[in-house]
Amino acid sequence: MPQISLDSTVRDLYETPVGHDVIEKVLLQMNLSEKWILNPIIGKRKIRTLSKLTGKQMGPEFWQTLIALVNSEPDVPADRTSEKPCAVKPAWWKEAVIYQIYPRSFCDSNGDGIGDLKGILSKLDYLQSLGVDALWLSPIYDSPNDDNGYDIRDYRKIMTEFGTMDDFDELLDGIHKRGMKLIMDLVVNHTSDEHEWFQKALNDPDSGYEDYYFFRKGKDGKEPNNWNSFFGGTAWNYYPERDLWALHLFSKKQMDLNWDNPKLRSDIIEMINWWLDKGVDGFRMDVINYISKSDGLPEGNEAIGKMMLFYGIEHYYYGPHLHEYLHEIREKAFKPHNAFSVGETPGIGREMAKLITGEEREELDMVFSFDQLETPGHVRFDDYEYDLNYYRDYITDWMENYGSNCWMSLFYNNHDNPRMVSKVRKDPSLRREIETLLAVMQFTLKGTPFVFQGDEMGLINYDFHSISELSDVESRNRYAELLESHSEEESFRIIRNGTRDHSRILLPWNEKAKELPEHLRQEADPVITELYRTLIALRKTHPTLIYGDFRLLSRKKNTFVYERTGEETFVIECNLSEEPRKPVFQGKGYTLLMPRTASDVMKPYEARIYRKLK
């Protein structure tokens, strides 16, 4: 890869994997189209002259930072976009439907109001009957729960409220007996400050653990750098007993681990192997792209910080040793156990994802990319409605360009996000229509569907009435910050748009849930559950829906028509809005599989699945 400099053109920059993804991200953030870059007037311009145009806001320092990041990646993705679908190597996780459980709110077996492992065990038959192949459990390890288990105190112990290691063994056994697999959450960017390593590091300078974390001297009595935390405020905690600061990208109790320390890496890999030896089938890896930080933890660029709302991000979201560390985990733990991995990788775009999931590179099997979750120019806390035309373009772009050596994850929400159905339309009157549409796309597009608990019950966002109903650390911290410049009412309204609690309320089947205030109770919709069963079964009986080629047939406004071809041919037509319209696909020579009948008008959010007659 030729090195990029201020004398390279914008086009040269856009042709590098990191340059491509960063520019795309910036355009997204500013709600500008790709045409802006493809336009020769801009594209042929030297970065040096552009940097003059972008003025103070994105001054030369911004471009230098970007160039350094781009040049830190010498590799280019293998071009495997033009190969036939038969080039895709089969794997169980490409064929699987994965179901995410947020254990705290899934099923409570003993009426203490907290979901638990026995609760999950009691629902295995239900999950099997849905047709799901694997369960991903959000963290169930011992934790003081500052961030609901994403702050781990002991990697080898089960959280007391969730049960015991015996319960876990029984659960794993029950899952395997039913022919399903178990994927655990692996949170190794940070540990709880109550983890033994951190306690030793803090209390005994000679313990050998100080270098497991990022302890630094302050700068003139202030934080070592300007990085801020995803949960508000600075990313540094001061420990007066040692006159040292320690880094935490998330809550004050989630201390970042220093992956540059080979001893730390070897301890983590040993722990992973301990779980794999127990028989777990794979891991979802929490913020795994953050594990390698730039040497010396440099100041974050001002312009990037302002634009992305987080300072310092360019120094850790695609760090200098990321590929190396991912490969090491693969070699020393996943590969010998034939384990599956999916990385949670905020900020990673399509080209960088190729360098992480290209199968020949042996890093991760899949990633979750998040740019599909909000439409351009929006963040999670904005008050707006999600335009599904954007989802069509986003997902088409990935399916057309990701390559046969990479495999996509398909998801709309998780425990960190409000439900997509409510983002598309706040008024719930068409919820069943939208839920059906989303499910049809999820099970007929190319990739592995991840169902988040409750999606299959037709759940929507909760009607929170006050901040006291929210328990998430992010929501509470942000609310406190907002109060500095907004009224209580406004602050609450903003938090309510994006709070992670929308996906964290106890599922309706819990006895205890009946004690929730009326407005926080939801009934499960059996029609949607049945729909999930049908669609999952359809996908299973027709491998074309899994491995078949994807081809876009129409992207007219509010229209998404695509074809999947392999041994068979399917055509799916979606109406992406509430406006009725004429169908684009007439269905001649095809049978209509869904819905049972169709008229010559596509109803609001209607989705149709056709199969070609033999």
**Residue 346 touches which of Ca ion, ligand TEU, none (Cβ within 5-8 Å per kind):** ligand TEU
Q: Which of 569, 573, 562 is nearest to 398 (CA)?
A: 562
Q: Which of 511, 517, 512, 480 is nearest to 495 (CA)?
A: 480
Q: How far is CA 7 from the centre of its chain?
A: 36
**Residue 112 touches which of Ca ion, ligand TEU, none (Cβ within 5-8 Å per kind):** Ca ion
For ligand TEU, which is the closer residue by CB, 232 or 279?
232
Residue 150 in the binding site for ligand TEU (CB under 6 A): yes
Residue 116 in the binding site for Ca ion (CB under 5 A): yes
Binding region for Ca ion (CB under 5 A) out of 11-19, 113-121, 441-449, 546-554: 113-121
The phi, psi pair for 265, rounded to 5°, reads -60, -40
3-state secondary structure of 84: coil
Residue 103 in the binding site for ligand TEU (CB under 6 A): no
Walk across the sheet containing 448-452 and list its strands: 366-368, 340-344, 282-285, 181-186, 134-137, 98-101, 448-452, 409-410
Are the C-beta atoms of residues 575 and 438 closer than 8 Å to each other?
no
3-state secondary structure of 266: helix
User: Site for ligand TEU (CB under 6 A): which residue of 133, 374, 474, 573?
Assistant: 474
CA dist., res. 63 & res. 70, Å (int): 10
Q: How far is the CB of 177 from ligand TEU (least distance, A)?
A: 29
Helix (H) / strand (E) containing 236: strand 236-239
**Residue 114 touches which of ligand TEU, Ca ion, none (Cβ within 5-8 Å per kind):** Ca ion
| End-to-end CA gap in the chain | 48
Residue 286 in the binding site for ligand TEU (CB under 6 A): yes
Site for ligand TEU, residues 330 to 359, rule: CB under 6 A: 344, 346
Site for ligand TEU, residues 210 to 249, rule: CB under 6 A: 230
Q: How far is the CB of 308 from ligand TEU (least distance, A)?
A: 11
Q: How far is the CB of 62 from Ca ion (least distance, A)?
A: 50
CB neighbourhood size of 529 (10 A):
17
Residue 147 in the binding site for ligand TEU (CB under 6 A): yes
CA dist., res. 284 & res. 197, Å (int): 23
Whole-angstrom CA distances from 69 to 49, 55, 57, 465 are 20, 21, 19, 44
**Residue 579 touches which of Ca ion, ligand TEU, none (Cβ within 5-8 Å per kind):** none
User: Site for ligand TEU (CB under 6 A): which residue of 121, 287, 545, 576?
Assistant: 287
Q: How far is the CB of 137 from Ca ion (least distance, A)?
A: 15
Site for ligand TEU, residues 410 to 469, rule: CB under 6 A: 415-416
3-state secondary structure of 371: coil
Binding region for Ca ion (CB under 5 A) out of 100-108, 267-275, 497-505, 595-603: 100-108
Q: Which residues contact 188 (CB under 8 A, 6 or more apart)?
A: 257, 268, 285, 286, 288, 291
For Ca ion, which is the closer residue by CB, 116 or 363?
116
# binding residues, ligand TEU (CB under 6 A): 12
Q: How far is the CB of 252 from Ca ion (least distance, A)?
A: 27
Which residues are known to be catalytic? 286, 344
Q: How far is the CB of 190 from ligand TEU (least distance, A)?
A: 7
Residue 187 in the binding site for ligand TEU (CB under 6 A): yes
**397, two tokens:** 């772009």
Q: Which residues bind ligand TEU (CB under 6 A)?
A: 147, 150, 187, 230, 250, 286-287, 344, 346, 415-416, 474
